[in-house]
Amino acid sequence: MKITALETLRLDEHPNLLWVRVHTSDGVYGLGETYFGAPASEADIHDRIAPLVLGQDPSRIEYLKMKMQPYVGFTGSGAEVRALAAVDVALWDIAGKRANMPLCDVLGGRMRNEIEVYNTCAGPNYVSKTSAVRPDNFGNQDDQKSQILYDDLNGFLEYPEDLASSLLEMGISSMKIWPLDLAKGAVDGVDISTEDLRKGIEPFEKIRKAHGDKMRLKAELHGIWSLNAAKKIAAALEPLDMDWIEDPVWMDRTHEVRELASFTKAPLAGGETLASLGQFKSLIDDGNIGTPIMDITWAGGVTPARKVAALAEARSRPIAFHDCSGPVTLAVSTHMALSLKNVREQEIARGFYYNWYQEFVDHLPSIENGMITVSDRPGLGLDLVPDIFDRDDAIHKITKL
């Protein structure tokens, strides 16, 4: 069996998303995905990766990962690594289909049959127009104007207690919000005023007051803040018994992560924008991060994710897999979460899951009573819906052997 074609698809309506299908000579194909910088990753797949992998045996995943790895200096989660990640995920999907087993079973079997979810409280249009993660691309103005399910970003800004109630009714007892992104000081991140700090902490306080310890609270800081500002924020959040504070500073500044970890009793998490074993090793060992977070479809795919999880386990740390991007990312992350010992919960964004995720794939990991699991379908267990290729806004390319 040989790789015969690499196929990509992206949509104008969702310009951040890129899907990849790796086709083989015996008719089996695998599905992969990446997010952000879709046109650049698309070009890299067809211009750089295709000549490297066409004609190769798709079962030699570790070997192909080595061939696809860009020049040694590429250690971040840029376009080349994201392109590689999408293809790597597709190769693992092929491996599952060839074995006629779900991916989690190919990866050594299930540690558990289902795993708890936590909800990242984004609305359906969150960061949907460009790759900029900033308030003018949060999509909350668009969400207010439409009849949608789970407008969770406006929810945590305007009625956080009710949002938490809604999640608890679904059996979801962990949530992540980022009201501090809207502080005036977030523009440059150098400092935060007392007024903005008080306002940014208020949604957490309201949820804790209304629901006590029924809800685990996570704060997303998006790496915006300086170390001094992050210390002020951590000190204000600490009395609220945070589940974690995520990306409080840039995660490649491991000395700052370590200093903040020593300063606060609140657990720290982060790392989804990193993309090499060396970077994650430094984050764990030098930064003393409590929970490293990895995005499988940004950071090179399943192949390196297994190794980063082992690094975390060797240091007695849990690992978490990021999803606030696309349905394939959620699927592959869930398979990994079910198969690994040191995963506590899987991230979802229900504003995505119950809205546009449903439009693009034929099957999603199922969520019930706050738990997520996968079906017995082979590989990732999902495929793109057939008519997606016929959309007027579809940009469809294929490079063949």
71 with 173, same domain? no
Q: How many residues are given for the chain?
A: 401
Range of the domain at 284: 105-373
65 with 146, same domain? no
Q: Check residue 149 and give its pLDDT.
A: 87
Give the confidence band of 145 by pLDDT, cuts at 50, 70, 90: low
- Interval 261-308: pLDDT, tens: 999 999 999 999 999 999 999 999 999 999 999 999 999 999 999 999
The number of beta carbons lying within 10 Å of the beta carbon of residue 259 is 16
164 with 214, same domain? yes
- Interval 193-221: pLDDT, tens: 999 999 999 999 999 999 999 999 999 99
Give the confidence band of 7 by pLDDT, cuts at 50, 70, 90: very high
221 with 333, same domain? yes
368 with 390, same domain? no
The number of beta carbons lying within 10 Å of the beta carbon of residue 211 is 17
Please state the three-class secondary structure of 52-116 as a single string: HHCCCCCCCHHHHHHHHCCCCCCCECCHHHHHHHHHHHHHHHHHHHHHCCEHHHHCCCCCCCCEE
244 beta partners: 218
Measured torsion, CA atoms of residues 302, 305, 307, 311, in degrees rounded to the nearest 10: -170
176 with 296, same domain? yes
Which of 316, 335, 306 is closest to 110 using CA atoms? 335
Residue 378, in any domain of the structure = no
Q: Would you say residue 30 has pLDDT above 90?
A: yes
279 with 396, same domain? no
Rounded to two decimals, what is the model's pTM?
0.96
Q: In this structure, what token pair is assigned to residue 258?
A: 């370590």
Flag the least confident range among 131-140, 362-371, 381-390.
131-140
Residue 266, in any domain of the structure = yes
Number of domains the chain contains: 2
Residue 45, in any domain of the structure = yes
Q: In this structure, what token pair is assigned to residue 31?
A: 């599905």
52 with 132, same domain? no
Which of 318, 307, 323, 282 is closest to 65 using CA atoms? 307
Q: How far apart, in Å, are the Cα atoms of 157 and each of 364, 371, 384?
A: 29, 26, 34
Q: Check residue 73 and give its pLDDT.
A: 62
Q: How far apart, in Å, are the Cα atoms of 350 and each of 14, 122, 124, 296?
A: 17, 8, 8, 19
Burial of 2 (0-12, 13-18, 19+ CB in 10 A): middle
Q: What is the CATH number of the domain that holds 20?
A: 3.30.390.10
Q: What is the CATH number of the domain that holds 145?
A: 3.20.20.120
Give the confidence band of 140 by pLDDT, cuts at 50, 70, 90: confident
Q: Which residues, other chains included, contact 32 with Cβ-Cβ below 8 Å and sequence gap of 6+?
A: 19, 20, 21, 22, 85, 86, 87, 88, 89, 90, 91, 93, 297, 301, 328
Residue 81, in any domain of the structure = yes
Amino acid 60 reads R
- Interval 81-118: pLDDT, tens: 999 999 999 999 999 999 999 999 999 999 999 999 99
For the chain, give the longest Cα–Cα distance: 63
286 with 178, same domain? yes
Q: Which residues, other chains included, contact 155 with Cβ-Cβ below 8 Å and sequence gap of 6+?
A: 121, 162, 163, 166
Q: In this structure, what token pair is assigned to residue 155?
A: 């929810």
71 with 132, same domain? no
186 with 229, same domain? yes
Which of 266, 265, 322 is closest to 292 using CA atoms? 322
Q: Would you say residue 68 has pLDDT above 90?
A: yes
Give the confidence band of 77 by pLDDT, cuts at 50, 70, 90: confident
Q: What 3-state class would DSSP assign to 384?
A: strand
Contact between residue 23 and residue 378 where contact means Cβ atoms under 8 Å apart: no
87 with 111, same domain? no
